[in-house]
């Protein structure tokens, strides 16, 4: 008795896989996690937006929500179609300067979990935003190495540097307001570590010859 092969199996045998099904198994699960994390991050930002007091943080939150929403739609578009999305990916341009304040000061009030949303302040909210975007960026970096569809891979890979910029902008804001303190090692320890590595020199000709040699026979 003969059974008709499923369309996806037939397409796999002939190599004629529809664009919408041009995804590997690992890719399906990983992109699912990426999209779910994107939704979660946007939701966290949306909740935070309703409690933010500082106008600067509110501006960052609104700009980042808009950017992440666009990225989510672009990723969803190419994932569902397997083709180029209707809108091209863009690079996030943050508006903070790059000057970190180093050193730590004693905390006037130790951090602890809040008991109600009325206790949330800009420090708590900016930390929630930062943690969410850092988690999302890690998932995207891992997923990009599992994706087989070339368009989806490019879109997700392009999103990783954007996550870094989004997180960096928030950390700069936190640092400026004393929410995120950056300790430093003593200068001698830093110098010892900085000088602990040296550049390598390679002989390209010798390396090329070694790669072209036939494997040894036994």
**Whole-angstrom distance, CA of residue 97 vs CA of residue 85:** 32
Residue 51 has pLDDT above 70, yes or no: yes
Say yes or no to pLDDT of 12 above 80.
no
Residues 177, 67 contacting (CB under 8 angstroms): no
Q: Tokens 């994107």 label which residue? A: 38
Residue 191 has pLDDT above 90, yes or no: yes
User: pLDDT at position 11, please?
Assistant: 53
Q: How far apart are CA 176 and CA 173, in angstroms?
A: 5
Query: Encoding tokens for residue 100?
Result: 């970190």
Among residues of the chain, what percentage have pLDDT more than 70? 83
Taking alpha carbons only, the member of 6, 8, 5 closest to residue 20 is 8
Q: Among candidates 79, 85, 89, 81, which has minimal Cα distance to 28?
A: 79
Average pLDDT rounded to a whole number, residues 85-110: 86
Task: Read off the pLDDT of each residue in 185-207 and give the average, rounded to a whole number.
Answer: 87
Provide the pLDDT confidence category of residue 8 given band limits of 50, 70 and 90: very low
User: What is the pLDDT, as a whole number, of residue 83?
Assistant: 85
Domain boundaries, the chain: 23-100+120-180
State residue 37 phi and psi, 5-degree precision. -65, -35
Mean pLDDT confidence for 139-148: 92
Cα distances (angstroms) measured from residue 189 to each of 101, 103, 183, 185, 192:
19, 15, 13, 6, 5
> Kindly report the CA angle at 41 between 25 and 97, in degrees rounded to 5?
120
The CATH number of 23-100+120-180 is 1.20.1260.10
pLDDT digits (tens, 9 = 90+) for 53-84: 999 999 999 999 999 999 999 999 988 888 88
């Amino acid at each position: 008795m003969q059974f008709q092969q499923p369309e996806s199996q037939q397409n796999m045998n002939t190599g004629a896989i529809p664009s919408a099904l041009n995804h590997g198994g690992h890719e399906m699960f990983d992109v699912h996690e990426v999209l779910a994390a994107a939704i979660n991050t946007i939701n966290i930002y949306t909740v935070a937006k309703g409690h933010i007091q500082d106008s600067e943080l509110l501006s960052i939150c609104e700009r980042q929500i808009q950017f992440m929403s666009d990225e989510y739609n672009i990723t969803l578009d190419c994932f569902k179609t397997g083709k180029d999305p209707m809108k091209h990916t863009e690079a996030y341009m943050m508006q903070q300067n790059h000057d970190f304040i180093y050193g730590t000061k004693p905390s006037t009030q130790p951090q602890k979990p809040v008991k109600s949303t009325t206790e949330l302040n800009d420090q708590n909210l900016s930390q929630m935003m930062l943690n969410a975007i850092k988690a999302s960026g890690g998932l995207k970096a891992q997923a990009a190495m599992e994706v087989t569809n070339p368009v989806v891979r490019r879109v997700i890979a392009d999103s990783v540097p954007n996550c870094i910029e989004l997180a960096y902008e928030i950390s700069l804001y936190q640092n400026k307001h004393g929410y995120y303190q950056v300790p430093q090692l003593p200068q001698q320890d830093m110098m010892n570590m900085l000088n602990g590595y040296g550049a390598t020199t390679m002989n390209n000709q010798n390396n090329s010859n070694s790669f072209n040699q036939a494997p040894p026979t036994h």
